[in-house]
Amino acid sequence: MLGDVVELSVVVRDLDVAIERFTEVFGLHVHHRGESEEFGFKNAILPTGIGHVELLQPTDPTKPVGRFLEKHGEGVYLVGFECHDIEGSVERLKTQGVRVDHRPGREIAWIHPQDAHGVFVELRTRERYD
Amino acid sequence: MLGDVVELSVVVRDLDVAIERFTEVFGLHVHHRGESEEFGFKNAILPTGIGHVELLQPTDPTKPVGRFLEKHGEGVYLVGFECHDIEGSVERLKTQGVRVDHRPGREIAWIHPQDAHGVFVELRTRERYD
């Protein structure tokens, strides 16, 4: 079910400061930037090879990313594992009592961190950075 | 400098319980188990493809892994990125004021989480699971 880590989402206080660190110091580059009003963050995607680092700055302190920063400070928020059968995996997880959030038809699902030893696990496919 | 994520180290309270979750529920398998007196943990390595998940249970509450569990609870402790030039990367990081721990001749180095937006970054090579 869990394949390679293809996304590492990191919550940061200041997206521009974090981008500078991950590009000029750590040698990655920004593929694109985005924003989600629904989830309350702005982000940047930095490819690593088969996967990417996502830097997330909260824009709404009442939503999960903002609450994470308030509680934990900066750090790893979510880990995306490649999964080749998301629908089937979601069904199997549910029968085993795992709390999993999945919107039918979308190639993505999230496992509750309390059901994954503190890791906020995302099941996903690889992105293509052409 | 940072390539793909090839190691995700997760601190857990009980290694056997965590192994059961990551194998029977999440579909990985244990390649081997180990222990480090120096770093105060016992662990299990579960390959994911090009990389692996490492489950870490502290054996000494005064050492970093034990202190992490006490402070943060279970969760992601360290992220290992593939790096093709560890010695050169360490030199460049040092000239940029990044705190990096490296033992000469060893193909591994660690960047201080405070210098990587809360991520405990390991620079490493891929393991081979033959």
Measure B25 CA to nearest chain A CA, in Å: 7
Under 8 Å between Cβ of A72 and A55: no
- At residue A130 the predicted structure's pLDDT band, cuts being 50, 70 and 90, is low
Under 8 Å between Cβ of B51 and B126: yes
| CA gap A74, A81 in Å, rounded | 21
Check the CA dihedral A126-A127-B3-B9 and report its sign: negative
Of B68 and A106, the structure prediction assigns the larger pLDDT to B68
Secondary-structure class of domain B5-124 per CATH: alpha beta
Query: Are B98 and A48 in contact (CB < 8 Å)?
Result: no
Residues of chain B with Cβ-Cβ distance to A18 below 8 Å are: 117
- At residue A128 the predicted structure's pLDDT band, cuts being 50, 70 and 90, is confident
User: In terms of CA atoms, which chain B residue is nearest residue A98?
Assistant: B25
Query: Are B4 and A72 in contact (CB < 8 Å)?
Result: no
Cβ neighbors of B82 (< 8 A, separation 6 or more) are A49, B3, B4, B5, B6, B50, B124, B125, B126
- At residue B128 the predicted structure's pLDDT band, cuts being 50, 70 and 90, is confident
Under 8 Å between Cβ of A114 and A99: yes
B21 DSSP 8-state letter:
I
Under 8 Å between Cβ of B23 and B29: yes
Of A28, A98, A118, the CB nearest to B75: A118
pLDDT tens for each residue of A12-32: 999 999 999 999 999 999 999
What confidence score (pLDDT) does residue A57 get?
98
| CA gap B74, B57 in Å, rounded | 10
| CA gap B87, B104 in Å, rounded | 8
The percentage of residues in chain B with a pLDDT greater than 70, rounded to a whole number, is 99
| CA gap A23, A1 in Å, rounded | 32
Query: Are B21 and A50 in contact (CB < 8 Å)?
Result: no
| CA gap A93, B116 in Å, rounded | 33
Measure B38 CA to nearest chain A CA, in Å: 24
Mean pLDDT confidence for B78-87: 96
Count, in order, helices (H) and strands (E) of chain B: 3, 8
pLDDT tens for each residue of B5-59: 999 999 999 999 999 999 999 999 999 999 999 999 999 999 999 999 999 999 9
Domain range summary for chain A, segments of one domain joined by +: 5-124
Residues of chain A with Cβ-Cβ distance to B12 below 8 Å are: 117-118
- At residue B104 the predicted structure's pLDDT band, cuts being 50, 70 and 90, is confident
What confidence score (pLDDT) does residue B28 get?
98
- ipTM for the predicted complex comes to 0.95
Q: Is A71 exposed, middle or buried (CB count within 10 Å of its CB: 0-12, 13-18, 19+)?
A: exposed
pLDDT tens for each residue of A30-46: 999 999 999 999 999 99
Among A62-66, A108-112, A118-122, A126-130, which is the least confidently predicted range?
Answer: A126-130
Count, in order, helices (H) and strands (E) of chain A: 3, 8
- At residue B130 the predicted structure's pLDDT band, cuts being 50, 70 and 90, is low
Of A3, A53, A75, the CB nearest to B118: A75
Cβ neighbors of B45 (< 8 A, separation 6 or more) are B30, B31, B32, B33, B34, B52, B53, B54, B127
Statement: residue A129 has pLDDT above 90: no
User: In terms of CA atoms, which chain B residue is nearest residue A49?
Assistant: B4
User: In terms of CA atoms, which chain B residue is nearest residue A56?
Assistant: B117
Measure B37 CA to nearest chain A CA, in Å: 23
